[in-house]
Amino acid sequence: MSTIGGVVDGFVIAHTMDTSDVGALSLTSPIWFLSAVIYSILSYGAQPRIIMELTKGNREKAREIFSMIIITGTVLALIMGIFMFAGAGLTSQLLGAKPASPEYGPRRQAYKAISS
């Protein structure tokens, strides 16, 4: 399903924005996919443990497991976010990006004119 969504997103962005925007989408799509994989690992790993504890009648242990998964997911998301934010400039430079010009391109100016 994510492949179909990526194709649709790419098609829409390619027809409404610049090529650099399509490139940005292509760079960020794997990050969303990686986030979904991590979420799946955490949730599918926790479900059987929580169900086992609930069938034993141990609601408190099930809540502990659930809380641990939520905290683990949040910490992993923060770590990924920090690394992505810190590495965005270097990644852009390695891929050949140059400092932004004041006008940001004609479509950006048109959007600014419409939105103000």
What are the φ and ψ backbone dihedral angles of 20, each rounded to 5 degrees?
-65, -30
SS3 at position 10: helix
Tens of pLDDT along 30-49? Answer: 787 888 889 899 999 999 99
Tens of pLDDT along 49-97? Answer: 999 999 999 999 999 999 999 999 999 999 988 988 887 777 777 777 6
**pLDDT the model gives residue 1:** 47
Residue 32 to residue 22: CA distance in whole angstroms: 15
Q: pLDDT tier at 107 (50, 70, 90 boundaries)? A: low
Residue 97 to residue 92: CA distance in whole angstroms: 5
Query: pTM to 2 decimals?
Result: 0.61
Closest CA to 83 of 35, 14, 50: 35
